[in-house]
């Protein structure tokens, strides 16, 4: 089941709704603090804990955590550079029975960061910045409550010293920063603490692992989906895409290429005849164009032919540099999926007049402007389809090698050929891509990753 991801305003609205329904702000704070304290106790395993408390409600959560630990017999110290400023935080401070230091160095082997919560929008400075710098230099187990204190929740931007945490506990709901670079790279393990608020009805979520299932009992190769992959100037990239696509569920993968491919697997059908005739095959369920396509006139003509078919299609690599408003006007954008990395996303945004800076906002705006499904890939992968945004747990950092994007495009297109649903295919592709990386040996090549897709399928059947 997918889990909602909220913006700052959506989280505030969810908390207001709970209060309006009769749950006090103090009760919500107790639920959050006590729930987080259980995770802190697991991590601390009897060791002493330092809690860093800020002036707002995140600091209030910290006082509740500290009191829960104190009641359980833990050695606890609280460091708070400023007194609480909100009513609920002042109540939490009043209920805490231990001492509070305004300025000190953390003394215990476990440190809990409750300086600022999900609403931070300005730079962290002064005593708070000094505490975070000290935390980063300290040899301790670091836990962030809700989001790390130097992180802007909606964008993942870093607004001050950002230590590397071992554990981050999201309170009530996931926030966008829990899925976005650069912040998420410093968050360690991610866990969510339920606090009894309603978080559904939004337009963003962590995608649930897919259930792919086996082909129907009466399936045959065309019913399972014929995927045509359009090659171009360079033969290697489309072959990588084909290797992945053959293992991701499509019943038939055809490579439309003018090159000889002596190393191609015997199972791959290579069409070297008339391109117009090959692409007109009525049995084709989906198309992939871009890997190895080139960027000359012939490449543009091939892309135009793909778009003219009106079939579900994945556009990757060179196709993303060729695509423009004139070409898109001749296509059914609702059936198109683009898979840009950072540079390709910038090219698409320039082509379609998108000027926002944040990767998440760029992907969403590009989808809004064009109607295409956008899979903005990278260390933080974001899928925007049908007005919904899907986030994903982090994949292996070993994916940072040439050719893995071609593999992802092949998986995406293969899943699209199976059922034709762009959002579903994108989510399935990312999960399979990440699982294939997990199953492949470290320092894998793109070819080894493509071959690992077959065993990755086992996880989701």
Residues making up the binding site for K(+): 58, 113, 149
Q: Max CA-CA distance within the chain?
A: 81
Return the bridge partners of 206, or none. Answer: 3, 391
- Which residue has tokens 């309170």? 171
**Length of the chain in residues, anyone?**
461
**381 vs 386: CA distance, rounded Å:** 17
Q: Which residues sit in the known binding site?
A: 57-61, 113, 117-123, 146, 149, 237, 292, 341, 377-381, 405-406
Query: Which tokens sit at 388?
Result: 């919904």
* Backbone torsion region of residue 181, taken as left when φ is above 0, otherwise alpha when ψ lies between -120 and 50, otherwise beta: beta
Q: Which residues sit in the known binding site for (6S)-NADPHX?
A: 57-61, 117-123, 146, 237, 292, 341, 406
Query: Which tokens sit at 216?
Result: 């129907």
Task: Please compute, for residue 78, the number of CA atoms within 13 A of its CA located in the half-sphere on the CB side.
Answer: 28
Q: Which residues sit in the known binding site for AMP?
A: 377-381, 405
């Amino acid at each position: 089941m997918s889990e909602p991801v909220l913006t700052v305003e959506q989280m505030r609205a969810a908390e207001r709704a709970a209060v309006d329904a009769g749950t006090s702000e103090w009760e919500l704070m107790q639920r959050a603090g006590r729930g987080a304290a259980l995770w802190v106790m697991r991590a601390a395993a009897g060791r002493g804990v330092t809690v860093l408390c800020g002036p707002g409600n995140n600091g209030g959560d910290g006082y509740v955590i500290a009191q829960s630990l104190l009641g359980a017999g833990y050695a606890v110290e609280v460091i708070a550079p400023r007194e609480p400023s909100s009513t609920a935080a002042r109540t939490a401070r009043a209920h805490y029975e231990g001492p509070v230091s305004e300025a000190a160095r953390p003394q215990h082997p476990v440190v809990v960061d409750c300086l600022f919560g999900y609403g931070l929008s300005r730079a962290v400075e002064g005593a708070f910045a000094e505490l975070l710098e000290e935390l980063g230099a300290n040899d301790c187990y670091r836990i962030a409550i809700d989001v790390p204190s130097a992180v802007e929740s909606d964008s993942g931007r870093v607004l001050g010293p950002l230590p590397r945490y071992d554990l981050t506990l999201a309170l009530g709901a996931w926030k966008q920063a829990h899925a976005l670079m650069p912040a998420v790279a410093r968050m360690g393990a991610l866990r969510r603490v339920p606090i009894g608020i309603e978080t559904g009805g939004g337009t963003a979520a962590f995608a649930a692992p897919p259930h792919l299932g086996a082909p129907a009992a009466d399936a045959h190769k065309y019913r399972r989906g014929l995927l045509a992959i359009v090659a171009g100037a360079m033969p290697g990239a489309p072959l990588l895409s084909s290797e992945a696509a053959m293992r991701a569920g499509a019943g038939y993968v055809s490579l439309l290429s003018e090159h000889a491919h002596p190393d191609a697997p015997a199972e791959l059908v290579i069409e070297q005849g008339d391109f117009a005739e090959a692409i007109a095959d009525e049995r084709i369920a989906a198309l992939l164009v871009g890997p190895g396509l080139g960027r000359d006139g012939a490449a543009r003509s091939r892309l135009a032919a793909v778009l003219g078919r009106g079939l579900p299609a994945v556009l990757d690599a060179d196709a993303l540099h060729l695509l423009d408003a004139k070409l898109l006007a001749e296509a059914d954008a609702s059936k198109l999926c683009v898979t840009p990395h950072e540079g390709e996303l910038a090219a698409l945004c320039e082509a379609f007049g998108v000027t926002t800076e944040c990767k998440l906002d760029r992907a969403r705006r590009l989808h809004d402007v064009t109607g295409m499904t956008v899979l903005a890939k990278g260390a933080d992968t974001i899928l925007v389809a049908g007005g919904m945004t899907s986030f994903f747990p982090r994949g292996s950092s070993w994916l940072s090698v040439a050719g893995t994007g071609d593999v992802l495009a092949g998986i995406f297109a293969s899943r699209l050929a199976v059922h034709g649903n762009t959002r579903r295919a994108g989510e399935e592709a990312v999960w399979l891509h990440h699982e294939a990386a997990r199953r492949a040996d470290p320092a894998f090549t793109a070819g080894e990753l493509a071959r690992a897709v077959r065993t990755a399928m086992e996880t989701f059947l």
